[in-house]
């Protein structure tokens, strides 16, 4: 095992901290029976061949040996190795990421800078291609006996959208065999990330959303459908996401946290998913969110007295077209999972105000008068009237400031008055 490690000129290439001479020992340590050695090696690999999202010359050379470890029965922590490979496959170039912060701005645009940038971009491409060569193995590991390995393998496959047409049928077949709800949710999210190649995936999403399956699976199907279809996502998917945001269920939060897809909390990731709706679809979702924010059952404590049938929440989805089909981006705000009113607030502002050119204020009073759209007026009216929001005024103020809005009820009322509302 790993016989070829010493045949690579690790001293002649670099990672994040200089010569990559330590990489062979770190990779060997991943096969150690000592869990502390494995954990330490994984920690250092995340700091060297992948560092804060960037990859290096040595990265692609390390990948074949990581794939080799996945094929050895005695190797443990294969889920962690698969997750590392997912990070390597999606890494970026240091200069590309840091161009706006580059300390020597005068060097940008010089032949030397451009040459180094192109060199780094080639490392990114080489790393992605090296990880991609193991796709068939990852699909095999999606049938591993350990759920954590199956989840990590399915998650890694999502890194290769260029293979979506071939991997989607395999994932759909695995979905039918899979018994673990978390792995099934992972498959649904991966299908969404792959872009839903072929009618089979869309039909699976629709069936799951309309089924009586555990809500985690239905929410995962709705998220995957929005990822895949963006502004063309059907209203059933959006209704379900808003309902899950407004009336959270604890068991969903606990299970979702186990998924490698979990970027933050379930509520936070639902907010980010709703932000992918195109502007027209988003405009139609705003009244839905506003009504949810005013529901008396939405308590500041996070516990809903009674959850309504999702199908009773209705609105019309209008597909976006032209430039409006571009997905909006919301401000990244940390929202406590236990407070659905704040999660709805964030999603509501993301859809109504993301991309708005409103100038920042000091949080006092109204900013310079600026025309509000109908959906922005709807959002502000619901926020002002929602007692649940203002029971958590400090958290709400932080979210409002992120969107350059007044951070008090009086300030929002002044903004409304300036618009003649």
Q: How many domains does the structure of the chain reveal? A: 2
pLDDT at 335: 38
Q: Are residues 74 and 171 in the same domain?
A: no
Q: Is residue 76 part of a domain?
A: yes
Residue 157 has pLDDT above 80, yes or no: yes
Q: Concatenate the DSSP letters of all residues of 145-163 into one string.
A: SSHHHHHHHHHHHTT-GGG
Q: Are residues 194 and 341 in the same domain?
A: yes
Name the one residue in this structure whose structure tokens are 């946290």.
257
Q: Is residue 104 part of a domain?
A: no
Query: Whole-number mean pLDDT of the chain?
Result: 82
Q: What is the CATH number of the domain that holds 326?
A: 1.25.10.10
The string of pLDDT tens digits covering residues 411-421 is: 999 888 887 64
pLDDT at 103: 55
pLDDT at 382: 93
Q: Is residue 107 part of a domain?
A: no
Handedness of CA 351, 356, 360, 365 (dihedral sign): negative
DSSP state of 319: -
Length of the chain in terms of residues written:
421
Q: For residues 222 and 238, give the distance between their C-alpha atoms in angstroms, rounded to a whole number.
A: 7
Q: For residues 339 and 224, give the distance between their C-alpha atoms in angstroms, rounded to a whole number.
A: 24
Q: Which string of b and e fits 30-69 if b means at least 16 CB within 10 Å?
A: bbbeeeeebeebbebbbebbbbeebbbbbbbbbbbbbbbb
The string of pLDDT tens digits covering residues 87-110 is: 999 998 876 666 655 555 556 667
Q: Is residue 126 part of a domain?
A: yes
Average pLDDT for 333-340 = 51
Q: Is residue 106 part of a domain?
A: no
Q: Are residues 60 and 153 in the same domain?
A: no
DSSP state of 307: P
Average pLDDT for 317-324 = 34
Express as a percent the part of the chain with pLDDT over 90. Answer: 48
Residue 76 has pLDDT above 70, yes or no: yes
Q: Burial level of 237, CB count in 10 A (0-12/13-18/19+)?
A: buried
Q: Are residues 215 and 289 in the same domain?
A: yes
Query: Which residue from 34, 133, 37, 46 is spatially nearest to 81, judged by alpha carbons?
Result: 46
Q: For residues 275 and 354, give the distance between their C-alpha atoms in angstroms, rounded to a whole number.
A: 9
Express as a percent the part of the chain with pLDDT over 70. Answer: 80
Residue 337 has pLDDT above 70, yes or no: no
Q: Are residues 120 and 184 in the same domain?
A: no
Q: Label residue 248 by pLDDT band (50, 70, 90).
A: confident
Q: Is residue 206 part of a domain?
A: yes
Q: Spell out the residues 6+ positions from residue 46 whose beta carbon is closer than 8 angstroms to its own.
A: 84, 87
Residue 359 has pLDDT above 60, yes or no: no
The distance from CA 406 to its chain's CA centroid, rounded to whole angstroms, is 28
Which comes out higher in pLDDT, residue 107 or 166?
A: 166
Q: Are residues 366 and 301 in the same domain?
A: yes
73: tokens are 């029965």
Q: Are residues 270 and 337 in the same domain?
A: yes
Q: For residues 329 and 11, give the distance between their C-alpha atoms in angstroms, rounded to a whole number.
A: 43
Q: Are residues 38 and 173 in the same domain?
A: no
Average pLDDT for 25-53 = 95
Q: For residues 95 and 121, give the distance between their C-alpha atoms in angstroms, rounded to a whole number.
A: 9
Which residue segment(s) compose the domain that 256 sits in? 136-418
Q: Is residue 103 part of a domain?
A: no
Residue 137 has pLDDT above 90, yes or no: yes
Q: Under a CB-based contact definition with an 8 Å cutoff, are residues 123 and 60 in contact?
A: yes
Residue 356 has pLDDT above 90, yes or no: no
Residue 130 has pLDDT above 80, yes or no: yes
Q: Are residues 188 and 258 in the same domain?
A: yes
Average pLDDT for 331-349 = 65
C-alpha distances out from residue 350 to 48, 127, 173, 184, 347, Å: 36, 34, 36, 29, 5
Q: Are residues 77 and 182 in the same domain?
A: no
Q: Are residues 121 and 167 in the same domain?
A: no
pLDDT at 102: 55
Q: Is residue 351 part of a domain?
A: yes
Q: Are residues 149 and 87 in the same domain?
A: no
The string of pLDDT tens digits covering residues 376-408 is: 899 999 999 998 889 888 888 988 998 889 999
Query: Which residue from 261, 407, 289 is spatially nearest to 346, judged by alpha carbons?
Result: 289
């Amino acid at each position: 095992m790993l016989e070829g490690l010493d045949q690579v000129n690790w001293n002649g290439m670099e990672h994040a901290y200089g010569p990559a001479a330590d990489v062979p020992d770190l990779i060997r340590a991943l096969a150690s029976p000592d869990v502390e050695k494995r954990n330490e090696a994984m920690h250092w690999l995340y700091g060297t061949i992948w560092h804060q999202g960037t990859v290096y010359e040595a990265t692609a050379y390390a990948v074949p040996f990581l794939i080799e470890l996945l094929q050895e029965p005695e190797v443990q922590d294969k889920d962690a190795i698969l997750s590392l490979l997912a990070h390597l496959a999606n890494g970026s170039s240091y200069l590309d990421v840091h161009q706006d912060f580059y300390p020597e701005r005068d060097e940008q645009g010089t032949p030397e800078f451009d040459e180094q940038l192109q060199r780094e971009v080639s490392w990114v491409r080489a790393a992605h291609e090296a990880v991609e060569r193991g796709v068939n193995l990852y699909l095999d590991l999606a049938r591993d006996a350990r759920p954590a390995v199956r989840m990590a393998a399915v998650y890694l496959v999502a890194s290769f959208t260029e293979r979506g047409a071939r991997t989607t049928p395999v994932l759909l077949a695995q979905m039918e065999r899979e018994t673990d709800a978390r792995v099934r949710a992972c498959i649904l999210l991966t299908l969404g990330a792959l872009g839903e190649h072929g009618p089979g995936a869309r039909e699976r999403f629709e069936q799951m959303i309309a089924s009586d399956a555990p809500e985690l699976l239905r929410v995962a199907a709705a998220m995957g459908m929005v990822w895949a279809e963006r502004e063309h996502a059907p209203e059933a998917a959006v209704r379900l996401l808003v309902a899950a945001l407004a009336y959270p269920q604890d068991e969903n939060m606990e299970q979702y946290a186990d998924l490698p897809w979990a970027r933050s909390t379930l509520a936070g990731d639902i907010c980010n998913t709703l932000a992918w709706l195109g502007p027209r679809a988003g405009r139609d979702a705003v009244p839905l969110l506003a009504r949810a924010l005013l529901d008396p059952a939405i308590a500041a404590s996070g516990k809903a007295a009674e959850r309504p049938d999702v199908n009773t929440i209705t609105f019309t989805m209008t597909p976006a077209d032209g430039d409006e089909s571009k997905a909006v981006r919301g401000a990244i705000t940390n929202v406590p999972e236990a407070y659905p009113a704040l999660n709805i607030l964030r999603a509501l502002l993301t859809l109504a105000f993301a991309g708005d050119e409103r100038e920042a204020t000091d949080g006092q009073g109204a900013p310079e008068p600026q025309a509000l759209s109908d959906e922005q007026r709807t959002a502000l009216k619901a926020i002002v009237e929602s007692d649940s929001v203002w029971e958590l005024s400090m958290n709400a103020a932080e979210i409002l400031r992120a969107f350059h809005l007044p951070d008090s009820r009086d300030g929002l009322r002044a903004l409304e008055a300036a618009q003649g509302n």
